[in-house]
Amino acid sequence: MLKYKIFAIFCTTFLTGNAVAENTILVQSTTSTKNSGLYDHILPLVKQETGVTVYVVAVGTGAAIKNAMNCDGDVLLVHSRKLEDQFVASGYSKKRYDVMYNDFIIVGPNDDPAGIAEMNDAVAALKKIAVTESRFTSRGDDSGTHGKERSLWKRTGVNQDASSGSWYLETGSGMGATLNTAVGTEAYTLSDRSSWEVHANKSDFKVMVEGDKRLFNPYGVMLIDPVRCPSVNSNGGKAFIDWLISKNGQQAIARFKVAGKQMFFPNAQ
Amino acid sequence: MSIYSDSFAAAFGLLATADSDLMEILYLSINVSLLSLALSCSIGLPIGAILAIRQFHGRDALVGIFNALMGLPPVVVGLLVYLHLSRSGPFGWLGLLYTPQAMVIAQMILITPIIIALSCQVLEDMHEGYKDFFDSLVVPKLAALVAYIVDARYSLMTVVLAGFGRAVSEVGAVIIVGGNIDHLTRVMTTAIALETSKGELELALALGFVLLSISLAVNFLAQWLKASAKRRAYV
Amino acid sequence: MSDIANLALNCLLPITVDSLSLALNDRVVIDRITCQIKGNGITAIMGPNGAGKSLFLRCLHGLVKPDSGQVRFAGKPPSQAIRQRQSMVFQAPTILRRTVLANLLFVARQRGVSNPQTSRDCLAQLRLDHLAEHPARLLSGGEKQRLALARALIIKPAILFLDEPTSNLDPTSVETIETNLQMVSRQGTKIILVTHDLGQAKRLAGDVLFLNHGSLSEHNPATSFFKNPDSKAAKTYLAGNLVL
Ligand SMILES: Nc1ncnc2c1ncn2[C@@H]1O[C@H](COP(=O)(O)OP(=O)(O)OP(=O)(O)O)[C@@H](O)[C@H]1O
Ligand SMILES: [Mg+2]
């Protein structure tokens, strides 16, 4: 009998405890914004000021865009300008909005086998890594960061893919997992700044390369087209986006700090 | 290795203070796993029972298939459930993706074959032993089945625990269909994956210890029950 | 009670076996057995190891379908309804993973006769009452045999099949079982008993079926069988020699 009672309790918890609130949206997001803790900082404000409850699914930019194309979500917030423009051009969204930016950095072990410390030319640094055949871990997962990394390699003229598995290691995983791999194998890697700052398992790793214009990392937000995806909560989604690019939203983003450092720089028009 | 002692202390601290985030995650983990277990058992035990006592064409092939399905990779299950529950998939209109219910569905697909294959094995052994006696007594099929289940309850408990163990420790499927959404679909395993990805290895390991201690508690209880049953030759 | 048993008995006897044959794995294990078992009392089935006694008993009880030939109970073919009025004690009884009393009650419940008092009496009859709440699978071999008999008796069968119910038992247990068999036989239950125990067959049986290599060597009243068996096989068997 007890068994049935327990079962009944579960069922009721599931039916009642999960009745999704009326004004709820789901954001398909890149992991960096999520893992940095930015959402924990701004979502209570969103709730307070717009009444919208925001749930976040954090995956790589490529996966987030695919999920959005399947209509699984209401809003897309990622960082790969090229893919975002394609997304809009293919009619999955009416418009892309600038939200904020930060920058990518190359991190590596303290003893710096490739000798790239304090360089500010990312392309030259990668070239040195390739020449010295120092280990480098790549996301390899079609994320925004992965896209940026590939475009940098392209400029070096190095065919890094040919060395995949020897010094060039593709993890096929998120930024955190890739940083763990880099730390574990003493390899260099490209990371967005916020993921690096919040990453706890740094060992003796340091930022090696920063400040290159080509390491610019802009984030964009889009409402998934409600005509294409009737399940989209366009009122909720619009409210969220409007808030993000509003003065309040932009100030809130600027106020978000990790270890005293500002992580994202608002740039909405 | 101070990482063990540190993580262990952290795990203990989290439990001792009944950390509210942890409790929420723990509650959902157990809730999802127990619900999928209950549903899997209500589907799997009858199927296992039928396969154990009925001889029909293709029965052996079916048993083979269920045995093979025990090794289903969770990620594949997660992917399949995702594709079906996605808004663009055939069951998208249900709006189940990224809900605990989706996680229950994925876990059910993972553990139902385990329940079927293992319970079939257990009940087949019972059938072998009791068949002549029950035929002689002319015990109706259903009553015989009930007797098998009652008499094999301790072995079946192990079967159910195997299912629970798989459900509660699985991450590949639930992270895809649940989305690891804070306060909605985050469970112990996806939280561990998340903390690992944030490089919070100590916290991740601490959560691992908490998960392990649940498993241990459940299994010790089962062991104890089984040992006392063994003393009475009920196993 | 014995009236009802008699009534039941009347409509299941005689047992007619007509040219019963069975092959297992391409080996003939029951070979054209024809016989008629009638009358009250106890029929013993004897024969060397592997003669087919257990299989023959199973055929009679309807657990094994013969390849050809037939068994008839008062002219009626075997059926579940008929089997419900028979009990069988197997050579190696199956003991349920429950207490002794629960074993008994399970059987009783199948026939809708589960009365706790009757069950207790039945256990007492077989000197098992002190073990009622004991896990049945922990019983000794002899206690298990007695429990199996108790389970067979509780449903008051019209026909009782017994496959070596007293092998490996101590003299007291043998006596307990034999006393019980004689009692139920007097109350009208037909007993068909496989045994290797010559003394037991002499003490209990009214007639003897002697099987050898799957066929029936002879079927005679016990007195004449033991004094002067017809078949050579039975002669050698009784003399304690190996039957080849
Ligand atoms: N399931 C089976 N498959 C194949 N052969 C079998 C099977 N059961 C019994 N046999 C064979 O049939 C023959 C008769 O077996 P049965 O058990 O009836 O012998 P029995 O007369 O009862 O011997 P015992 O005195 O040793 O109990 C034996 O040779 C045995 O090997
Ligand atoms: Mg035998």
C214 CA to centre of ligand 1 in angstroms: 9
Vertex B123 angle, CA B117 and B124, to 5°: 85
Which CATH number belongs to the domain containing residue B106 in this structure?
1.10.3720.10
Q: What is the mean pLDDT of chain A?
A: 90
Place C5 in a pLDDT band, splitting at 50, 70 and 90.
very low
Quick check: C84 contacting B, CB < 8 Å?
yes
Contact C96 B233 (CB under 8 A): no
- Alpha-carbon distance of B153 to B229, in angstroms, equals 10
Ligand 1: which of C20, C25, C27, C55 to mutate, judged by most atoms within 8 Å of the beta carbon? C55
Given a cut of 60, is residue C58 above it in pLDDT? yes
DSSP string, B87-140: TTSTTGGG--TTSHHHHHHHHHHHHHHHHHHHHHHHHHHHHHHHHHHHHHHT--
* Ligand that lies nearest to the alpha carbon of residue C49, given by its number in the listed order: 1
Residue with tokens 């090696």: A208
What's the confidence (pLDDT) of residue C183?
Answer: 94
Instruction: Report CA dihedral (B51, B54, B58, B60) to the nearest 10 degrees.
Output: 50
Which DSSP symbol is given to A68?
H
- Alpha-carbon distance of B66 to B78, in angstroms, equals 18
Q: Do chains A and C touch (3 or more CB pairs under 8 A)?
A: no
| Position B42 in a domain | yes
What's the confidence (pLDDT) of residue C135?
Answer: 94
**Top-confidence residue, C113 or C47:** C47
| Position B29 in a domain | yes
Average pLDDT over residues B69-94: 92
> In this structure, are residues A226 and A232 in contact, taking their beta carbons and an 8 Å threshold?
yes
> In this structure, are residues A161 and B183 in contact, taking their beta carbons and an 8 Å threshold?
no
DSSP string, A127-158: HHHHHTT--EEE--SS-HHHHHHHHHHHHHT-
| Position B169 in a domain | yes
Instruction: Please write the tens of the pLDDT for every residue from C149-171.
Output: 999 999 999 999 999 999 888 99
Given a cut of 70, is residue B56 above it in pLDDT? yes
Place A2 in a pLDDT band, splitting at 50, 70 and 90.
very low
Instruction: Please write the tens of the pLDDT for every residue from A93-124.
Output: 999 999 999 999 999 999 999 999 999 999 99
Q: Could you say which of B133, B143, B232 has the minimum Cβ distance to residue C138?
A: B232
At residue C24, φ and ψ (nearest 5 deg) are -125, 130
What are the chain C neighbours of B151 within 8 Å (beta carbons)?
96-98
Could you give the 3-state DSSP secondary structure of residue A268?
A: coil
First to last CA, chain B: 41
Sign of CA dihedral C157, C162, C165, C171: positive
What's the gap in Å between the CA of A76 and the closest CA on chain B? 14
At residue A226, φ and ψ (nearest 5 deg) are -70, -15
For chain A, what percent of residues have pLDDT higher than 70? 92
Say yes or no: CB of residue C92 within 6 Å of ligand 1: no
- Alpha-carbon distance of C133 to C116, in angstroms, equals 13
B102, two tokens:
């989706």
| Position B235 in a domain | no
Instruction: Please write the tens of the pLDDT for every residue from A29-48.
Output: 998 899 899 999 999 999 99
Residue with tokens 């789901």: A26
What's the confidence (pLDDT) of residue C66?
Answer: 95
Place A220 in a pLDDT band, splitting at 50, 70 and 90.
very high
C63 CA to centre of ligand 1 in angstroms: 14
Residue with tokens 């190696």: C92
| Position B91 in a domain | yes
Instruction: Please write the tens of the pLDDT for every residue from B87-124.
Output: 888 998 898 999 999 999 999 999 999 999 999 999 99
C47 CA to centre of ligand 2 in angstroms: 10
Rg (CA), chain B: 20
- Alpha-carbon distance of C209 to A111, in angstroms, equals 97
| Position B43 in a domain | yes
Could you give the 3-state DSSP secondary structure of residue A192?
A: strand
Helices and strands: H and E segment counts in chain B: 10, 0
- Alpha-carbon distance of C25 to A78, in angstroms, equals 71
Neighbours of chain A (3+ CB pairs under 8 A): B
Set out the domains of chain A in order of their start, with CATH numbers: 2-102+218-266 (3.40.190.10), 103-215 (3.40.190.10)
Average pLDDT over residues A194-215: 94
Identify the closest residue of chain B to A200 by CA–CA distance: B199
What's the confidence (pLDDT) of residue C2?
Answer: 47
The total number of structural domains in chain B stands at 1
Type and span of the H or E element at C159? strand C159-163
- Alpha-carbon distance of B200 to B197, in angstroms, equals 7
- Alpha-carbon distance of C71 to C3, in angstroms, equals 26
Q: Is B227 exposed, middle or buried (0-12, 13-18, 19+ CB in 10 A)?
A: exposed
What's the confidence (pLDDT) of residue C243?
Answer: 58
Q: What's the domain range around B10? A: 2-228
Q: How far is CA C230 from CA C36, C48, C97, C233, in A?
A: 17, 16, 46, 9
Set out the domains of chain C in order of their start, with CATH numbers: 3-238 (3.40.50.300)
Q: How far is CA B169 from CA A59, A200, B188, in A?
A: 21, 24, 8
**Top-confidence residue, B12 or B46:** B46
Instruction: Please write the tens of the pLDDT for every residue from B96-106.
Output: 999 999 999 99
Given a cut of 70, is residue C222 above it in pLDDT? yes
B194, two tokens:
């998340």
Count of Cβ atoms closer than 10 Å to residue B61 Cβ? 9
The reported pTM is 0.82
Chain B residues whose C-beta is within 8 A of a chain C C-beta are 129-130, 132-133, 135-139, 143, 147, 151-152, 232-235
Place C72 in a pLDDT band, splitting at 50, 70 and 90.
very high
Residue with tokens 């663009």: B88
For chain B, what percent of residues have pLDDT higher than 90? 67
Q: How far is CA B101 from CA A8, A231, B90, B168, B226, in A?
A: 15, 18, 16, 15, 32
Say yes or no: CB of residue C52 within 6 Å of ligand 1: yes
Residues in chain B: 235
At residue C45, φ and ψ (nearest 5 deg) are -110, 125
What's the confidence (pLDDT) of residue A70?
Answer: 93
- Alpha-carbon distance of B212 to B217, in angstroms, equals 8
Q: What is the mean pLDDT of chain C?
A: 91
Identify the closest residue of chain A to B183 by CA–CA distance: A55
Residue with tokens 């909605």: B184
- Alpha-carbon distance of B191 to C168, in angstroms, equals 63
Given a cut of 80, is residue B77 above it in pLDDT? yes
- Alpha-carbon distance of A18 to A21, in angstroms, equals 9
What is the maximum alpha-carbon separation in chain B? 65
- Alpha-carbon distance of C198 to C3, in angstroms, equals 32
Instruction: Please write the tens of the pLDDT for every residue from C7-40.
Output: 544 578 899 999 999 999 999 999 999 999 987 7
Given a cut of 80, is residue B2 above it in pLDDT? no
Strand C86-89 versus strand C159-163 pairing type:
parallel
Strand A93-108 versus strand A216-224 pairing type:
antiparallel
> In this structure, are residues C150 and C181 in contact, taking their beta carbons and an 8 Å threshold?
no
Given a cut of 60, is residue A7 above it in pLDDT? no
